[in-house]
């Protein structure tokens, strides 16, 4: 009988609220951390595209292309590539690409920070002179979740196309920040 009373007393003790404080309140929950936002990138032209004769014999022309990249949601991203394509009748006839190896080489422009708003210039080399459409696409990775996404730079956002007679070569570092 003593054993039953002892077991009942232990069970009752476990079911009772704890002593030593305000017995009616529960512990406050741990604060929920603010989630890191996804990156949202926009890009537009930041001046005129300038067509130069190429100083590099591998290309007929060098295109100087100024763009503005802006992160608008508070996220961060990695800039992976810039791709300019020349099209004729819906078929891509030539493509120039600046990859992550160049974008990230010192000084690296690959890290796009939260709320960043920067202007960059790129140089692409081309040989084709028979095309009816030019597209410029930038590729990014969201640092929050690794999501890959592309941003098209609308052609109508450039201030036009200028022609220079000064030869321009595509430098080893084909991307640089404009101040």
pLDDT of residue 13: 38
Domain 41-178 sits in CATH at 2.60.40
pLDDT of residue 5: 37
Q: Tell me the whole-structure pTM to 2 decimals.
A: 0.78
pLDDT of residue 11: 36
pLDDT of residue 83: 97
Give the chain's residues under pLDDT 50. 1-20
pLDDT of residue 66: 96
- The neighbour count for residue 20, using CB atoms within 10 Å, is 5
The C-alpha atoms of residue 139 and residue 37 are separated, in whole angstroms, by 19
Query: pLDDT digits over 135-154, tens only?
Result: 999 999 999 999 999 999 99
pLDDT of residue 173: 55
Cα dihedral 100, 102, 104, 110, rounded to 10, equals -60
- Write down the domain spans for the chain: 41-178
């Amino acid at each position: 009988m003593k054993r039953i009373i002892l077991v009942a007393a232990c069970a009752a003790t476990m079911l009772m609220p704890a002593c030593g404080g305000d017995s009616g309140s529960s512990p406050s929950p741990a604060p929920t951390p603010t989630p890191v936002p996804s990156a949202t990138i926009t890009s537009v032209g930041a001046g005129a595209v300038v067509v130069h004769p190429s100083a590099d014999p591998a290309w007929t022309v060098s295109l100087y292309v100024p763009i503005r990249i802006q992160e608008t949601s508070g996220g961060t991203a990695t800039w992976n590539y810039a791709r300019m394509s020349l099209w004729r009748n819906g078929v891509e006839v030539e493509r120039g690409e600046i990859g992550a190896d160049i974008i990230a080489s010192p000084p690296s422009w690959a890290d796009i920070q939260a709320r960043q708003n920067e202007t960059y210039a790129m140089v692409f080399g081309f040989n084709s002179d028979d095309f009816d459409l030019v597209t410029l696409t930038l590729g990014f990775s969201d640092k929050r979740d690794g999501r890959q996404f592309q941003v098209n730079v609308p052609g109508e956002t450039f201030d036009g196309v200028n022609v220079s007679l000064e030869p321009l070569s595509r430098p080893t570092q084909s991307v640089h920040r404009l101040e």
